[in-house]
Amino acid sequence: MHSRITIAGLNHRSAPVEVRELLAFRDEELAGVLEILRLEAGAVEAMVLSTCNRVEIVVASDSRPDLTGALAKLRGLDPAFLEQYIYRHEGTDALRHLFRVAASLDSMVVGEPQILGQLKNAYHVAKEHGSLHGTLDSVITRAFNIAKRVRSETEIGQSAVSISYAAVELAREIFGSLKGKTVLIAGAGKMSELAARHLHRSGATNIMVTNRTMSRAEDMARLFEGKVVDYAKFHATLPEIDILIASSGAQQYILGPDEVKSAIGVRKNRPMFLIDIAVPRNIDPKVGTLDNAFLYDIDDLQKVVERNVTLRQKEAEEAERIVEEEVERTIMILKTRIVAPTIVGLQAQLEIIRSGEMERMRGKLGR
């Protein structure tokens, strides 16, 4: 039984987006990462959580693993550079952090539901690759149950918004009404779909979708009676676009200043609003220096979502109380599991002594 649980990572509070995107892992990379954690950092169990707002490594081990060094090696970075952005939690603090993450108390938008799905995906990937099988497995499973309890016993999710919703709110703030505005969504992942749903509810009826995988773009466009744009030719549609939401999985910029400047010229300098909610970023930051181009990345959205903090604070406090209660309960369960083999061993030894004494007394006293 390996009870030392350690977490090392960075999030939207500890590191800017340009540092987070250096460490972001794609799903297909995780098997290799988990293997390196076992071999290099001595992890007995391991899980990697990689989202647009955080990258965290969670391990159970017999020793104190060098997770910062492992992260640095995985990405070819200087550990000293990473150290200034990394936080580390062990033991009780690690449990508390994991439970708070699952309950969305550590998210940029407190109460947003996406993080639980992302955590479950990380769990399934680790499980498939044999990296979860003991203490850490049971602790993460417990985190899911705690998140469910927080949802059912508080209203933390009622006033919460997702990053994609915050992006739409920002668009509405700049344009007033979204009716009549033409929107292009680049990327057909979950974040894009959520943004499209919020846009649709906000009155945007002219929604275009582009994605590397045409069938995925078609599926999403069908949800909103939108139009599919060929990914290879989407730059040609830019002059028609009022709002562009970029959330593709591309590892390099899909849009630069030249294309946007050209589009704004054709638009006769009508403003274009660009929201980049991808990590790594999809849009070259230089676009933000152009006249009539308003570019916001995921860190800028923090200013939008902070308005809801007061509304959610009371529910978050109740959720924190639940997490503390569950941390104490989990520690007791883990201690019981550690002590149980000792108790069983003592019982076996006592049984040997008892049997020996009974036989000795029978020899003296008879049956």
Q: Is residue 135 part of a domain?
A: yes
Choosing from 301, 323, 358, the residue where a domain stops is 301
Please check whether residue 140 is in contact with residue 97, taking contact to mean a CB–CB distance below 8 angstroms: no
The reply to whether 196 and 235 lie within a common domain is yes
- Active-site residue among 30, 52, 60, 229? 52
Q: Quote the pLDDT of residue 276.
A: 92
The reply to whether 209 and 338 lie within a common domain is no
Query: Would you call 52 a catalytic residue per the annotation?
Result: yes
The reply to whether 85 and 98 lie within a common domain is yes
Q: Quote the pLDDT of residue 202.
A: 84
The reply to whether 167 and 190 lie within a common domain is yes
Nearest one of 233, 285, 295 to 264, comparing CA atoms:
295
Choosing from 270, 301, 332, the residue where a domain stops is 301
Output the six-digit token pair for 196: 């499209």
Choosing from 301, 331, 362, the residue where a domain stops is 301
Q: Whole-model pTM?
A: 0.65
Q: Is residue 241 part of a domain?
A: yes
- C-alpha 128/C-alpha 125 separation (Å) is 5
The reply to whether 12 and 147 lie within a common domain is yes
The reply to whether 93 and 211 lie within a common domain is no
The reply to whether 9 and 113 lie within a common domain is yes
pLDDT of the chain, 367 residues: tens digit per residue: 446 899 999 999 999 999 999 999 988 898 889 988 988 888 999 999 999 899 999 999 988 889 999 999 889 999 999 999 999 999 999 999 999 999 999 988 788 888 999 999 999 999 999 999 989 999 999 999 999 999 999 988 765 466 777 777 788 878 888 888 899 999 987 777 888 788 888 888 799 999 999 999 999 899 888 999 999 999 999 999 999 999 898 999 999 999 999 999 999 988 899 999 888 999 999 999 999 999 999 888 877 777 766 677 788 899 999 999 999 999 988 887 766 666 667 777 787 888 778 878 888 887 6
Q: Is residue 366 part of a domain?
A: no
- The residues with which 7 forms a beta bridge, in sequence order, are 58, 89
Indicate which CATH number applies to the domain containing 323: 3.30.460.30
Q: Is residue 147 part of a domain?
A: yes
Q: Is residue 117 part of a domain?
A: yes
- C-alpha 157/C-alpha 260 separation (Å) is 37
Q: Quote the pLDDT of residue 159.
A: 56
The reply to whether 291 and 322 lie within a common domain is no
DSSP state of 120: H
The reply to whether 18 and 86 lie within a common domain is yes
Amino acid at 60: A
The reply to whether 57 and 139 lie within a common domain is yes
Please check whether residue 229 is in contact with residue 183, taking contact to mean a CB–CB distance below 8 angstroms: no
Q: Quote the pLDDT of residue 1.
A: 44
Indicate which CATH number applies to the domain containing 219: 3.40.50.720
Q: Is residue 83 part of a domain?
A: yes
The reply to whether 322 and 294 lie within a common domain is no
Output the six-digit token pair for 2: 């390996």
Q: Is residue 10 part of a domain?
A: yes
- C-alpha 63/C-alpha 51 separation (Å) is 27
Q: Is residue 123 part of a domain?
A: yes
Please check whether residue 184 is in contact with residue 208, taking contact to mean a CB–CB distance below 8 angstroms: yes
Q: Specify the number of domains making up the chain.
A: 2
- C-alpha 278/C-alpha 145 separation (Å) is 29
The reply to whether 220 and 193 lie within a common domain is yes
Please check whether residue 28 is in contact with residue 19, taking contact to mean a CB–CB distance below 8 angstroms: no
For residue 335, the enclosing domain spans 4-159+312-342
